[in-house]
Structure 1
Protein backbone atom coordinates (compact mmCIF):
# COMPACT_ATOMS: atom_id res chain seq x y z
CA UNK A 1 0.00 0.00 0.00
CA UNK A 2 1.27 3.45 -0.87
CA UNK A 3 2.58 5.58 2.01
CA UNK A 4 0.04 8.29 1.19
CA UNK A 5 -2.83 5.97 2.16
CA UNK A 6 -1.93 6.18 5.86
CA UNK A 7 -3.45 9.64 6.37
CA UNK A 8 -6.15 11.82 4.89
CA UNK A 9 -4.71 13.83 1.98
CA UNK A 10 -5.76 17.40 1.29
CA UNK A 11 -6.42 16.65 -2.37
CA UNK A 12 -6.29 13.72 -4.75
CA UNK A 13 -5.96 14.59 -8.43
CA UNK A 14 -7.35 11.94 -10.78
CA UNK A 15 -5.48 12.34 -14.06
CA UNK A 16 -1.83 13.18 -14.69
CA UNK A 17 -2.06 15.34 -17.81
CA UNK A 18 -1.51 19.09 -18.11
CA UNK A 19 -4.66 20.00 -16.16
CA UNK A 20 -4.07 17.54 -13.35
CA UNK A 21 -0.39 18.28 -12.93
CA UNK A 22 -0.85 22.05 -12.97
CA UNK A 23 -3.64 21.76 -10.41
CA UNK A 24 -1.40 19.60 -8.25
CA UNK A 25 1.44 22.10 -8.66
CA UNK A 26 -0.72 24.95 -7.33
CA UNK A 27 -1.79 22.84 -4.37
CA UNK A 28 1.69 21.59 -3.56
CA UNK A 29 3.09 25.14 -3.69
CA UNK A 30 0.38 26.08 -1.19
CA UNK A 31 1.79 23.42 1.15
CA UNK A 32 -1.14 21.10 0.60
CA UNK A 33 -0.64 17.34 0.64
CA UNK A 34 -1.56 16.16 -2.83
CA UNK A 35 -1.40 12.88 -4.73
CA UNK A 36 -1.81 12.63 -8.50
CA UNK A 37 -3.15 9.37 -9.88
CA UNK A 38 -1.72 9.00 -13.37
CA UNK A 39 -3.27 6.32 -15.57
CA UNK A 40 -0.57 6.83 -18.20
CA UNK A 41 -2.82 7.31 -21.24
CA UNK A 42 -2.60 11.00 -22.22
CA UNK A 43 -4.78 12.13 -25.12
CA UNK A 44 -1.88 13.63 -27.07
CA UNK A 45 0.49 10.67 -26.73
CA UNK A 46 0.54 9.97 -30.52
CA UNK A 47 1.59 13.55 -31.36
CA UNK A 48 5.19 14.47 -32.07
CA UNK A 49 5.02 17.79 -30.24
CA UNK A 50 2.85 20.20 -28.29
CA UNK A 51 2.09 23.40 -30.21
CA UNK A 52 0.66 26.78 -29.34
CA UNK A 53 2.08 26.63 -25.81
CA UNK A 54 4.16 29.72 -25.17
CA UNK A 55 7.70 28.92 -24.08
CA UNK A 56 7.25 25.20 -24.77
CA UNK A 57 6.60 25.21 -28.53
CA UNK A 58 7.20 21.78 -30.04
CA UNK A 59 8.07 20.00 -26.80
CA UNK A 60 7.27 16.27 -27.04
CA UNK A 61 4.16 15.47 -24.96
CA UNK A 62 5.98 12.85 -22.87
CA UNK A 63 8.74 15.34 -22.06
CA UNK A 64 6.26 18.00 -20.97
CA UNK A 65 4.59 15.54 -18.61
CA UNK A 66 7.95 14.35 -17.28
CA UNK A 67 8.87 17.93 -16.40
CA UNK A 68 5.47 18.49 -14.84
CA UNK A 69 5.74 15.41 -12.63
CA UNK A 70 9.21 16.49 -11.57
CA UNK A 71 7.96 19.96 -10.65
CA UNK A 72 5.04 18.60 -8.60
CA UNK A 73 7.35 16.25 -6.73
CA UNK A 74 9.78 19.10 -6.15
CA UNK A 75 7.18 20.80 -3.96
CA UNK A 76 6.32 17.66 -2.00
CA UNK A 77 3.46 16.39 -4.14
CA UNK A 78 3.26 12.74 -5.12
CA UNK A 79 2.53 11.21 -8.51
CA UNK A 80 1.63 7.54 -8.63
CA UNK A 81 0.98 5.31 -11.62
CA UNK A 82 -2.42 3.81 -10.95
CA UNK A 83 -6.00 3.66 -12.14
CA UNK A 84 -8.89 4.77 -9.92
CA UNK A 85 -11.55 2.13 -9.51
CA UNK A 86 -14.20 3.73 -7.30
CA UNK A 87 -13.99 7.22 -5.78
CA UNK A 88 -16.90 7.72 -3.39
CA UNK A 89 -18.10 10.66 -1.31
CA UNK A 90 -18.39 10.29 2.44
CA UNK A 91 -19.56 13.77 3.49
CA UNK A 92 -17.87 16.73 5.24
CA UNK A 93 -16.62 16.39 2.40
CA UNK A 94 -14.38 13.36 2.54
CA UNK A 95 -13.63 10.88 -0.21
CA UNK A 96 -12.22 7.39 -0.44
CA UNK A 97 -10.47 6.61 -3.71
CA UNK A 98 -10.08 2.90 -4.28
CA UNK A 99 -7.39 2.00 -6.80
CA UNK A 100 -7.46 -0.90 -9.21
CA UNK A 101 -4.98 -2.83 -7.01
CA UNK A 102 -7.34 -2.57 -4.03
CA UNK A 103 -5.38 0.06 -2.09
CA UNK A 104 -7.16 3.23 -0.99
CA UNK A 105 -6.52 6.94 -0.61
CA UNK A 106 -8.56 9.21 1.63
CA UNK A 107 -8.92 12.82 0.53
CA UNK A 108 -10.61 16.03 1.62
CA UNK A 109 -11.04 17.27 -1.95
CA UNK A 110 -10.89 15.82 -5.47
CA UNK A 111 -9.75 17.28 -8.78
CA UNK A 112 -10.95 15.22 -11.73
CA UNK A 113 -8.67 15.76 -14.73
CA UNK A 114 -9.15 12.51 -16.61
CA UNK A 115 -9.16 14.11 -20.07
CA UNK A 116 -11.07 12.64 -22.98
CA UNK A 117 -10.97 9.93 -25.58
CA UNK A 118 -11.00 10.86 -29.28
CA UNK A 119 -13.26 8.62 -31.37
CA UNK A 120 -12.56 8.47 -35.10
CA UNK A 121 -15.17 7.61 -37.74
CA UNK A 122 -15.12 3.98 -38.81
CA UNK A 123 -13.17 4.32 -42.04
CA UNK A 124 -10.77 1.46 -42.87
CA UNK A 125 -7.13 2.55 -42.78
CA UNK A 126 -7.81 5.81 -40.94
CA UNK A 127 -6.89 5.02 -37.33
CA UNK A 128 -3.35 3.83 -38.06
CA UNK A 129 -2.35 7.38 -39.04
CA UNK A 130 -3.92 9.11 -36.01
CA UNK A 131 -1.70 11.86 -34.60
CA UNK A 132 0.52 11.97 -37.69
CA UNK A 133 -1.12 11.98 -41.12
CA UNK A 134 -4.59 12.14 -39.54
CA UNK A 135 -5.16 15.31 -37.53
CA UNK A 136 -8.12 17.07 -35.97
CA UNK A 137 -6.99 20.49 -34.71
CA UNK A 138 -5.73 23.21 -37.08
CA UNK A 139 -4.12 25.01 -34.17
CA UNK A 140 -2.38 21.95 -32.76
CA UNK A 141 -1.11 20.56 -36.08
CA UNK A 142 -1.90 23.08 -38.80
CA UNK A 143 1.55 24.58 -39.33
CA UNK A 144 3.06 21.12 -39.62
CA UNK A 145 0.72 20.18 -42.49
CA UNK A 146 0.72 23.51 -44.31
CA UNK A 147 0.71 23.38 -48.11
CA UNK A 148 0.03 19.64 -48.12
CA UNK A 149 -2.87 18.11 -50.08
CA UNK A 150 -5.43 17.81 -47.26
CA UNK A 151 -8.71 15.92 -47.23
CA UNK A 152 -11.58 16.68 -44.85
CA UNK A 153 -13.61 13.61 -43.89
CA UNK A 154 -16.99 15.06 -42.97
CA UNK A 155 -18.74 13.80 -39.86
CA UNK A 156 -21.45 16.46 -39.54
CA UNK A 157 -22.05 20.24 -39.48
CA UNK A 158 -18.86 20.85 -37.49
CA UNK A 159 -16.83 19.68 -40.49
CA UNK A 160 -17.87 22.73 -42.53
CA UNK A 161 -16.16 25.05 -40.06
CA UNK A 162 -13.25 22.60 -39.95
CA UNK A 163 -12.80 22.92 -43.70
CA UNK A 164 -12.69 26.71 -43.62
CA UNK A 165 -9.97 26.62 -40.97
CA UNK A 166 -7.82 24.12 -42.85
CA UNK A 167 -8.28 26.11 -46.06
CA UNK A 168 -6.16 28.78 -44.39
CA UNK A 169 -3.31 26.28 -44.35
CA UNK A 170 -3.38 24.88 -47.88
CA UNK A 171 -4.62 25.71 -51.37
CA UNK A 172 -5.27 22.02 -52.06
CA UNK A 173 -8.26 20.99 -49.98
CA UNK A 174 -10.86 18.31 -50.75
CA UNK A 175 -14.06 17.89 -48.75
CA UNK A 176 -15.48 14.36 -48.65
CA UNK A 177 -19.14 14.66 -47.71
CA UNK A 178 -19.51 10.96 -46.86
CA UNK A 179 -23.12 10.59 -45.65
CA UNK A 180 -23.56 14.21 -44.56
CA UNK A 181 -25.72 16.88 -46.19
CA UNK A 182 -24.07 19.93 -47.73
CA UNK A 183 -26.51 22.67 -48.73
CA UNK A 184 -26.12 24.81 -51.83
CA UNK A 185 -25.07 27.92 -49.93
CA UNK A 186 -22.20 26.03 -48.30
CA UNK A 187 -21.22 24.52 -51.64
CA UNK A 188 -21.07 28.03 -53.11
CA UNK A 189 -18.91 29.22 -50.24
CA UNK A 190 -16.59 26.25 -50.71
CA UNK A 191 -16.39 26.91 -54.44
CA UNK A 192 -15.46 30.53 -53.78
CA UNK A 193 -12.56 29.27 -51.69
CA UNK A 194 -11.55 26.62 -54.24
CA UNK A 195 -12.48 23.77 -51.91
CA UNK A 196 -13.30 20.72 -54.02
CA UNK A 197 -16.32 18.71 -52.87
CA UNK A 198 -16.50 14.93 -53.39
CA UNK A 199 -19.90 13.32 -52.85
CA UNK A 200 -18.96 9.77 -53.81
CA UNK A 201 -18.87 7.63 -50.64
CA UNK A 202 -15.51 6.90 -49.03
CA UNK A 203 -14.33 3.31 -48.91
CA UNK A 204 -10.97 3.57 -47.16
CA UNK A 205 -7.82 5.55 -46.50
CA UNK A 206 -4.93 4.04 -48.47
CA UNK A 207 -1.29 4.00 -47.35
CA UNK A 208 2.01 4.03 -49.20
CA UNK A 209 4.61 1.33 -48.81
CA UNK A 210 6.54 3.44 -46.32
CA UNK A 211 3.49 3.95 -44.11
CA UNK A 212 2.32 7.41 -45.13
CA UNK A 213 -1.14 8.36 -46.40
CA UNK A 214 -1.48 7.86 -50.14
CA UNK A 215 -5.06 9.00 -50.57
CA UNK A 216 -8.76 8.38 -50.05
CA UNK A 217 -10.27 5.44 -51.92
CA UNK A 218 -13.85 5.98 -53.06
CA UNK A 219 -16.49 3.31 -53.51
CA UNK A 220 -16.27 3.71 -57.31
CA UNK A 221 -12.60 2.70 -57.14
CA UNK A 222 -11.14 6.16 -57.68
CA UNK A 223 -8.20 7.17 -55.47
CA UNK A 224 -8.12 10.85 -54.51
CA UNK A 225 -4.48 11.54 -53.69
CA UNK A 226 -4.03 13.15 -50.26
CA UNK A 227 -1.12 13.40 -47.83
CA UNK A 228 -3.10 14.54 -44.78
CA UNK A 229 -6.60 13.76 -43.51
CA UNK A 230 -8.38 16.16 -41.15
CA UNK A 231 -11.37 14.89 -39.24
CA UNK A 232 -13.44 16.18 -36.33
CA UNK A 233 -13.34 13.45 -33.70
CA UNK A 234 -15.99 12.44 -31.23
CA UNK A 235 -14.78 13.68 -27.85
CA UNK A 236 -15.84 11.64 -24.85
CA UNK A 237 -14.72 12.48 -21.33
CA UNK A 238 -12.98 9.61 -19.58
CA UNK A 239 -15.35 8.45 -16.85
CA UNK A 240 -13.89 5.08 -15.91
CA UNK A 241 -14.07 4.50 -12.17
CA UNK A 242 -15.93 7.75 -11.44
CA UNK A 243 -19.54 6.51 -11.36
CA UNK A 244 -19.65 6.66 -7.56
CA UNK A 245 -19.30 10.44 -7.63
CA UNK A 246 -22.48 10.86 -9.71
CA UNK A 247 -21.05 13.89 -11.52
CA UNK A 248 -23.51 15.43 -14.01
CA UNK A 249 -22.62 15.34 -17.69
CA UNK A 250 -23.62 17.21 -20.84
CA UNK A 251 -23.77 16.09 -24.48
CA UNK A 252 -21.93 17.90 -27.23
CA UNK A 253 -24.02 19.08 -30.21
CA UNK A 254 -24.64 16.57 -32.96
CA UNK A 255 -23.83 13.58 -30.78
CA UNK A 256 -20.12 14.40 -31.03
CA UNK A 257 -19.30 13.49 -27.45
CA UNK A 258 -19.96 14.08 -23.77
CA UNK A 259 -18.24 16.01 -20.99
CA UNK A 260 -18.62 16.78 -17.30
CA UNK A 261 -20.81 19.79 -16.47
CA UNK A 262 -19.04 22.34 -14.29
CA UNK A 263 -19.33 25.88 -13.01
CA UNK A 264 -16.82 28.56 -12.04
CA UNK A 265 -13.20 27.33 -11.95
CA UNK A 266 -14.36 23.80 -12.66
CA UNK A 267 -16.49 23.45 -9.52
CA UNK A 268 -18.95 20.58 -9.83
CA UNK A 269 -22.35 20.29 -8.13
CA UNK A 270 -20.82 17.57 -5.94
CA UNK A 271 -19.39 19.28 -2.86
CA UNK A 272 -15.62 19.02 -2.76
CA UNK A 273 -15.13 17.96 -6.38
CA UNK A 274 -13.66 20.08 -9.17
CA UNK A 275 -13.14 19.10 -12.82
CA UNK A 276 -10.51 20.63 -15.12
CA UNK A 277 -9.13 20.22 -18.63
CA UNK A 278 -10.61 18.23 -21.50
CA UNK A 279 -12.89 16.27 -19.17
CA UNK A 280 -15.08 19.39 -18.95
CA UNK A 281 -13.78 21.51 -21.87
CA UNK A 282 -13.22 19.19 -24.85
CA UNK A 283 -11.85 21.95 -27.10
CA UNK A 284 -9.14 23.11 -24.68
CA UNK A 285 -5.56 22.80 -25.92
CA UNK A 286 -2.71 21.96 -23.57
CA UNK A 287 -2.18 25.56 -22.43
CA UNK A 288 -5.86 26.12 -21.68
CA UNK A 289 -6.11 22.79 -19.87
CA UNK A 290 -3.08 23.62 -17.75
CA UNK A 291 -4.52 27.06 -16.92
CA UNK A 292 -7.85 25.50 -15.96
CA UNK A 293 -6.08 23.04 -13.69
CA UNK A 294 -4.18 25.86 -12.01
CA UNK A 295 -7.40 27.80 -11.41
CA UNK A 296 -9.17 24.76 -9.97
CA UNK A 297 -6.16 24.06 -7.75
CA UNK A 298 -6.25 27.60 -6.41
CA UNK A 299 -9.98 27.34 -5.67
CA UNK A 300 -9.49 24.01 -3.92
CA UNK A 301 -6.79 25.54 -1.73
CA UNK A 302 -9.06 28.49 -0.90
CA UNK A 303 -11.89 26.12 -0.02
CA UNK A 304 -9.58 24.15 2.24
CA UNK A 305 -8.32 27.35 3.87
CA UNK A 306 -11.90 28.30 4.74
CA UNK A 307 -12.58 24.81 6.10
CA UNK A 308 -9.38 24.90 8.18
CA UNK A 309 -10.35 28.27 9.64
CA UNK A 310 -13.89 27.10 10.40
CA UNK A 311 -12.51 24.03 12.17
CA UNK A 312 -9.98 26.09 14.15
CA UNK A 313 -12.68 28.54 15.23
CA UNK A 314 -15.01 25.72 16.27
CA UNK A 315 -12.22 24.14 18.29
CA UNK A 316 -11.42 27.45 19.97
CA UNK A 317 -15.06 28.09 20.85
CA UNK A 318 -15.37 24.56 22.22
CA UNK A 319 -12.25 24.97 24.33
CA UNK A 320 -13.52 28.25 25.72
CA UNK A 321 -16.89 26.70 26.57
CA UNK A 322 -15.25 23.81 28.39
CA UNK A 323 -12.91 26.17 30.23
Structure 2
Protein backbone atom coordinates (compact mmCIF):
# COMPACT_ATOMS: atom_id res chain seq x y z
CA UNK A 1 0.00 0.00 0.00
CA UNK A 2 1.75 3.13 -1.24
CA UNK A 3 -1.02 5.74 -1.33
CA UNK A 4 -1.99 8.09 1.44
CA UNK A 5 -5.53 7.46 2.65
CA UNK A 6 -7.95 10.30 3.27
CA UNK A 7 -8.41 11.25 6.89
CA UNK A 8 -11.65 9.34 7.45
CA UNK A 9 -10.62 6.29 5.47
CA UNK A 10 -10.95 3.54 8.08
CA UNK A 11 -13.14 2.92 11.07
CA UNK A 12 -10.56 0.51 12.48
CA UNK A 13 -6.98 -0.33 11.62
CA UNK A 14 -5.89 -3.81 12.69
CA UNK A 15 -2.12 -4.22 12.97
CA UNK A 16 -1.20 -7.89 12.70
CA UNK A 17 -2.97 -10.35 10.40
CA UNK A 18 -2.41 -13.64 12.18
CA UNK A 19 -5.12 -15.54 14.07
CA UNK A 20 -6.06 -12.79 16.56
CA UNK A 21 -5.97 -9.96 14.03
CA UNK A 22 -7.95 -11.92 11.45
CA UNK A 23 -10.60 -12.77 14.02
CA UNK A 24 -10.88 -9.15 15.15
CA UNK A 25 -11.14 -7.86 11.58
CA UNK A 26 -13.81 -10.46 10.74
CA UNK A 27 -16.18 -9.12 13.40
CA UNK A 28 -15.73 -5.59 12.08
CA UNK A 29 -16.09 -6.63 8.45
CA UNK A 30 -19.38 -8.30 9.27
CA UNK A 31 -20.49 -5.13 11.05
CA UNK A 32 -19.97 -3.40 7.67
CA UNK A 33 -17.24 -1.12 9.00
CA UNK A 34 -14.28 -0.04 6.91
CA UNK A 35 -11.27 -2.03 8.08
CA UNK A 36 -7.60 -2.01 7.14
CA UNK A 37 -5.37 -4.93 8.14
CA UNK A 38 -1.63 -4.29 8.12
CA UNK A 39 0.39 -7.51 8.23
CA UNK A 40 4.04 -8.33 7.62
CA UNK A 41 3.44 -12.10 7.37
CA UNK A 42 5.49 -13.24 10.38
CA UNK A 43 3.20 -15.48 12.44
CA UNK A 44 4.70 -16.58 15.76
CA UNK A 45 4.06 -20.25 14.89
CA UNK A 46 5.49 -19.99 11.36
CA UNK A 47 8.15 -22.58 12.27
CA UNK A 48 5.55 -25.21 13.20
CA UNK A 49 4.21 -27.34 10.37
CA UNK A 50 0.98 -28.42 12.08
CA UNK A 51 -1.46 -26.82 14.49
CA UNK A 52 -3.19 -28.94 17.11
CA UNK A 53 -6.00 -28.46 19.58
CA UNK A 54 -8.00 -25.88 17.60
CA UNK A 55 -11.54 -27.21 17.14
CA UNK A 56 -12.27 -28.41 13.55
CA UNK A 57 -8.63 -27.74 12.56
CA UNK A 58 -6.75 -30.32 14.67
CA UNK A 59 -3.67 -31.39 12.72
CA UNK A 60 -4.14 -28.85 9.95
CA UNK A 61 -1.18 -26.97 8.53
CA UNK A 62 -0.68 -23.84 10.63
CA UNK A 63 -0.08 -21.75 7.50
CA UNK A 64 -3.22 -23.13 5.86
CA UNK A 65 -5.44 -22.03 8.76
CA UNK A 66 -4.06 -18.50 8.48
CA UNK A 67 -4.36 -18.51 4.66
CA UNK A 68 -7.97 -19.69 4.79
CA UNK A 69 -8.84 -17.02 7.34
CA UNK A 70 -7.12 -14.38 5.24
CA UNK A 71 -9.01 -15.41 2.09
CA UNK A 72 -12.37 -15.42 3.86
CA UNK A 73 -11.74 -12.00 5.39
CA UNK A 74 -10.53 -10.40 2.17
CA UNK A 75 -13.71 -11.49 0.40
CA UNK A 76 -15.51 -8.69 2.26
CA UNK A 77 -15.50 -5.56 0.06
CA UNK A 78 -15.12 -3.24 3.07
CA UNK A 79 -11.76 -4.79 4.06
CA UNK A 80 -8.44 -3.43 2.79
CA UNK A 81 -5.14 -5.25 3.25
CA UNK A 82 -1.55 -3.98 3.36
CA UNK A 83 1.36 -6.45 3.22
CA UNK A 84 3.51 -4.10 5.26
CA UNK A 85 5.07 -3.54 8.64
CA UNK A 86 3.48 -0.76 10.65
CA UNK A 87 6.53 1.18 11.81
CA UNK A 88 4.93 3.78 14.09
CA UNK A 89 1.61 4.83 15.55
CA UNK A 90 0.46 8.00 17.27
CA UNK A 91 -2.70 9.51 18.66
CA UNK A 92 -3.97 12.36 16.50
CA UNK A 93 -7.10 14.10 17.75
CA UNK A 94 -9.95 11.61 17.83
CA UNK A 95 -8.08 8.97 15.83
CA UNK A 96 -4.77 7.32 15.13
CA UNK A 97 -2.12 7.71 12.45
CA UNK A 98 -0.12 4.62 11.54
CA UNK A 99 3.10 5.05 9.56
CA UNK A 100 4.15 2.60 6.85
CA UNK A 101 7.72 1.89 5.63
CA UNK A 102 7.32 3.93 2.42
CA UNK A 103 6.68 7.08 4.46
CA UNK A 104 2.92 7.03 3.93
CA UNK A 105 0.43 7.09 6.77
CA UNK A 106 -3.02 5.63 7.22
CA UNK A 107 -5.66 6.87 9.63
CA UNK A 108 -8.20 5.00 11.71
CA UNK A 109 -10.77 5.99 14.32
CA UNK A 110 -9.83 2.93 16.39
CA UNK A 111 -6.74 0.78 16.53
CA UNK A 112 -6.46 -2.95 17.25
CA UNK A 113 -2.97 -4.25 17.93
CA UNK A 114 -2.46 -7.96 17.31
CA UNK A 115 1.29 -7.79 16.73
CA UNK A 116 2.26 -10.74 18.92
CA UNK A 117 5.48 -11.52 20.69
CA UNK A 118 8.86 -12.91 19.64
CA UNK A 119 10.55 -15.82 21.40
CA UNK A 120 14.13 -15.83 22.68
CA UNK A 121 15.56 -19.31 23.22
CA UNK A 122 18.37 -20.26 25.61
CA UNK A 123 21.79 -20.14 23.95
CA UNK A 124 22.25 -23.88 23.36
CA UNK A 125 23.85 -25.16 20.16
CA UNK A 126 21.28 -26.86 17.92
CA UNK A 127 18.21 -25.54 19.73
CA UNK A 128 17.02 -22.74 17.48
CA UNK A 129 17.01 -24.70 14.21
CA UNK A 130 14.73 -27.32 15.79
CA UNK A 131 12.25 -24.74 17.13
CA UNK A 132 8.73 -25.72 16.10
CA UNK A 133 9.70 -29.16 14.77
CA UNK A 134 11.14 -31.02 17.79
CA UNK A 135 11.66 -28.17 20.28
CA UNK A 136 8.42 -26.72 21.65
CA UNK A 137 6.91 -24.58 24.39
CA UNK A 138 3.26 -25.75 24.49
CA UNK A 139 2.45 -29.33 25.55
CA UNK A 140 -1.20 -28.94 24.55
CA UNK A 141 -0.08 -28.08 21.02
CA UNK A 142 2.63 -30.72 20.57
CA UNK A 143 2.70 -33.19 23.47
CA UNK A 144 0.28 -35.84 22.17
CA UNK A 145 2.30 -36.46 19.00
CA UNK A 146 5.34 -37.51 21.06
CA UNK A 147 3.57 -40.86 21.68
CA UNK A 148 4.41 -41.01 25.40
CA UNK A 149 8.11 -41.09 24.59
CA UNK A 150 11.09 -39.55 26.37
CA UNK A 151 10.64 -35.81 26.83
CA UNK A 152 13.18 -33.24 27.97
CA UNK A 153 12.52 -29.91 29.63
CA UNK A 154 15.41 -27.51 29.15
CA UNK A 155 15.32 -25.16 32.11
CA UNK A 156 15.35 -21.46 31.41
CA UNK A 157 14.34 -20.42 34.92
CA UNK A 158 11.76 -21.33 37.52
CA UNK A 159 8.96 -21.17 34.93
CA UNK A 160 10.37 -24.43 33.59
CA UNK A 161 9.13 -26.17 36.75
CA UNK A 162 5.60 -25.68 35.49
CA UNK A 163 6.43 -27.49 32.26
CA UNK A 164 8.28 -30.28 34.05
CA UNK A 165 5.36 -30.93 36.41
CA UNK A 166 2.77 -30.94 33.60
CA UNK A 167 4.58 -32.95 30.96
CA UNK A 168 4.52 -36.42 32.64
CA UNK A 169 0.95 -36.67 31.28
CA UNK A 170 2.59 -36.87 27.84
CA UNK A 171 5.69 -39.02 28.44
CA UNK A 172 8.76 -39.78 30.56
CA UNK A 173 10.26 -36.46 31.59
CA UNK A 174 13.80 -35.33 32.37
CA UNK A 175 14.31 -31.80 33.70
CA UNK A 176 17.63 -30.50 32.40
CA UNK A 177 18.60 -27.78 34.88
CA UNK A 178 21.53 -26.54 32.74
CA UNK A 179 22.59 -24.17 35.52
CA UNK A 180 19.41 -22.07 35.14
CA UNK A 181 18.25 -22.57 38.74
CA UNK A 182 18.25 -25.11 41.57
CA UNK A 183 14.84 -26.40 42.73
CA UNK A 184 13.94 -26.14 46.40
CA UNK A 185 13.43 -29.31 48.43
CA UNK A 186 9.63 -29.11 48.17
CA UNK A 187 9.92 -28.64 44.42
CA UNK A 188 12.27 -31.63 44.14
CA UNK A 189 9.75 -33.69 46.10
CA UNK A 190 6.95 -32.63 43.74
CA UNK A 191 9.08 -33.56 40.72
CA UNK A 192 9.79 -36.95 42.28
CA UNK A 193 6.09 -37.58 42.87
CA UNK A 194 5.49 -36.91 39.18
CA UNK A 195 8.31 -39.26 38.18
CA UNK A 196 10.48 -36.50 36.71
CA UNK A 197 14.22 -37.18 36.53
CA UNK A 198 16.46 -34.20 37.34
CA UNK A 199 19.71 -33.81 35.38
CA UNK A 200 22.25 -31.27 36.65
CA UNK A 201 25.04 -31.83 34.12
CA UNK A 202 25.06 -28.88 31.70
CA UNK A 203 23.87 -29.35 28.11
CA UNK A 204 26.54 -29.18 25.40
CA UNK A 205 24.32 -29.28 22.30
CA UNK A 206 21.24 -30.77 20.65
CA UNK A 207 21.70 -33.31 17.84
CA UNK A 208 19.50 -35.58 15.70
CA UNK A 209 15.80 -35.08 16.22
CA UNK A 210 16.03 -33.84 19.81
CA UNK A 211 18.94 -35.77 21.34
CA UNK A 212 20.58 -33.92 24.22
CA UNK A 213 24.35 -34.26 24.45
CA UNK A 214 25.60 -33.41 27.94
CA UNK A 215 28.98 -31.86 28.68
CA UNK A 216 30.23 -35.16 30.15
CA UNK A 217 29.54 -36.84 26.80
CA UNK A 218 26.36 -38.67 27.74
CA UNK A 219 23.56 -38.61 25.18
CA UNK A 220 19.88 -38.54 26.10
CA UNK A 221 17.73 -39.60 23.11
CA UNK A 222 14.44 -37.68 23.26
CA UNK A 223 11.23 -37.64 21.28
CA UNK A 224 10.93 -33.91 21.92
CA UNK A 225 12.31 -31.07 23.99
CA UNK A 226 10.32 -28.33 25.71
CA UNK A 227 11.66 -24.96 26.72
CA UNK A 228 10.05 -21.95 28.40
CA UNK A 229 11.15 -19.14 26.09
CA UNK A 230 11.57 -15.53 27.07
CA UNK A 231 9.22 -13.35 25.07
CA UNK A 232 9.38 -9.72 24.06
CA UNK A 233 6.73 -7.60 22.40
CA UNK A 234 7.41 -7.87 18.69
CA UNK A 235 6.30 -4.37 17.62
CA UNK A 236 7.09 -0.96 19.11
CA UNK A 237 3.57 0.39 18.53
CA UNK A 238 2.06 -0.42 21.95
CA UNK A 239 5.02 1.27 23.62
CA UNK A 240 4.83 4.32 21.38
CA UNK A 241 1.16 4.76 22.24
CA UNK A 242 1.82 4.38 25.98
CA UNK A 243 -0.16 1.18 26.58
CA UNK A 244 0.32 -0.10 30.14
CA UNK A 245 2.17 -3.40 30.43
CA UNK A 246 2.10 -6.34 32.80
CA UNK A 247 4.86 -8.87 33.39
CA UNK A 248 4.13 -12.57 33.04
CA UNK A 249 6.34 -15.61 33.65
CA UNK A 250 7.68 -15.46 30.08
CA UNK A 251 7.91 -11.70 29.63
CA UNK A 252 5.92 -8.46 29.30
CA UNK A 253 2.51 -8.18 27.66
CA UNK A 254 -0.07 -5.42 27.24
CA UNK A 255 -2.60 -5.06 30.05
CA UNK A 256 -6.23 -5.13 28.88
CA UNK A 257 -9.65 -5.28 30.43
CA UNK A 258 -12.14 -8.11 29.86
CA UNK A 259 -13.09 -6.57 26.47
CA UNK A 260 -9.43 -6.33 25.36
CA UNK A 261 -9.30 -2.53 25.75
CA UNK A 262 -5.83 -1.24 26.62
CA UNK A 263 -5.11 1.63 29.00
CA UNK A 264 -5.15 3.99 25.98
CA UNK A 265 -8.69 4.94 24.89
CA UNK A 266 -9.48 3.62 21.43
CA UNK A 267 -6.64 1.07 21.40
CA UNK A 268 -7.55 -2.60 21.77
CA UNK A 269 -4.97 -5.39 22.02
CA UNK A 270 -5.42 -9.12 21.47
CA UNK A 271 -3.60 -12.40 20.98
CA UNK A 272 -0.18 -13.16 22.41
CA UNK A 273 0.53 -9.42 22.69
CA UNK A 274 -2.13 -9.18 25.40
CA UNK A 275 -1.90 -12.36 27.46
CA UNK A 276 0.88 -14.09 29.42
CA UNK A 277 0.63 -17.23 27.26
CA UNK A 278 -1.68 -18.41 24.53
CA UNK A 279 -2.50 -20.62 21.58
CA UNK A 280 -4.46 -20.38 18.33
CA UNK A 281 -7.87 -20.95 19.95
CA UNK A 282 -7.27 -18.29 22.59
CA UNK A 283 -5.96 -15.85 19.97
CA UNK A 284 -9.10 -16.28 17.87
CA UNK A 285 -11.30 -15.75 20.93
CA UNK A 286 -9.34 -12.67 22.02
CA UNK A 287 -9.59 -11.24 18.52
CA UNK A 288 -13.35 -11.69 18.44
CA UNK A 289 -13.64 -9.85 21.77
CA UNK A 290 -11.42 -7.00 20.55
CA UNK A 291 -13.24 -6.64 17.25
CA UNK A 292 -16.67 -6.53 18.89
CA UNK A 293 -15.49 -4.08 21.57
CA UNK A 294 -13.89 -1.80 18.98
CA UNK A 295 -17.13 -1.82 16.98
CA UNK A 296 -19.25 -0.98 20.01
CA UNK A 297 -16.90 1.85 20.93
CA UNK A 298 -17.71 3.48 17.58
CA UNK A 299 -21.39 3.83 18.59
CA UNK A 300 -21.56 6.67 21.13
CA UNK A 301 -25.29 6.15 21.69
CA UNK A 302 -24.50 2.89 23.48
CA UNK A 303 -23.27 5.02 26.37
CA UNK A 304 -26.88 5.51 27.48
CA UNK A 305 -26.93 1.82 28.47
CA UNK A 306 -24.11 2.23 30.96
Compute the TM-score of the two structures, normalised by the length of structure 1.
0.88
1:52 Cα deviation from its structure 2 partner: 1.1
The DSSP-based 3-state class of the residue aligned with 2:285 is: helix
- The corresponding residue for 1:217 is 213
- The corresponding residue for 2:175 is 175
1:193 Cα deviation from its structure 2 partner: 2.9
Contact 1:116–1:282 (Cα < 8 Å) also in 2: no
* Matched ranges for 1:228-243 at <5 A: 228-243=224-239
Separation (CA, whole Å) in 2 of partners of 1:295 and 1:163: 32
Cα RMSD after superposing both structures: 1.9
> What 5-or-longer segments of structure 2 have no aligned partner?
none
Contact 2:135–2:227 (Cα < 8 Å) also in 1: yes
1:188 Cα deviation from its structure 2 partner: 2.5
The DSSP-based 3-state class of the residue aligned with 1:284 is: coil
- The corresponding residue for 2:189 is 188
- The corresponding residue for 1:83 is 85
Structure 2 residue 269 is the aligned partner of structure 1 residue 268 = no
Structure 2 residue 114 is the aligned partner of structure 1 residue 120 = no
The DSSP-based 3-state class of the residue aligned with 1:63 is: helix
The DSSP-based 3-state class of the residue aligned with 2:298 is: helix
Separation (CA, whole Å) in 2 of partners of 1:102 and 1:307: 36
Contact 2:47–2:132 (Cα < 8 Å) also in 1: yes
Range that drifts further, 138-147 or 231-240: 231-240
1:39 Cα deviation from its structure 2 partner: 1.2
Per-residue deviation, residues 178-221 of structure 1 (Å, max 9, x unmatched): 2211122222332233221111122221x23xxx22x2122222
> What 5-or-longer segments of structure 1 have no aligned partner?
311-323
Distance change >3 Å, CA 196–CA 300, structure 1 → 2: same
Count of aligned pairs: 301
Contact 1:14–1:113 (Cα < 8 Å) also in 2: yes
Separation (CA, whole Å) in 2 of partners of 1:241 and 1:83: 11
The DSSP-based 3-state class of the residue aligned with 2:252 is: strand
Distance change >3 Å, CA 182–CA 45, structure 1 → 2: same
Separation (CA, whole Å) in 1 of partners of 2:123 and 2:154: 11
Distance change >3 Å, CA 146–CA 241, structure 1 → 2: same
Separation (CA, whole Å) in 2 of partners of 1:309 and 1:240: 32
- The corresponding residue for 1:283 is 277
Compute the TM-score of the two structures, normalised by the length of structure 2.
0.93
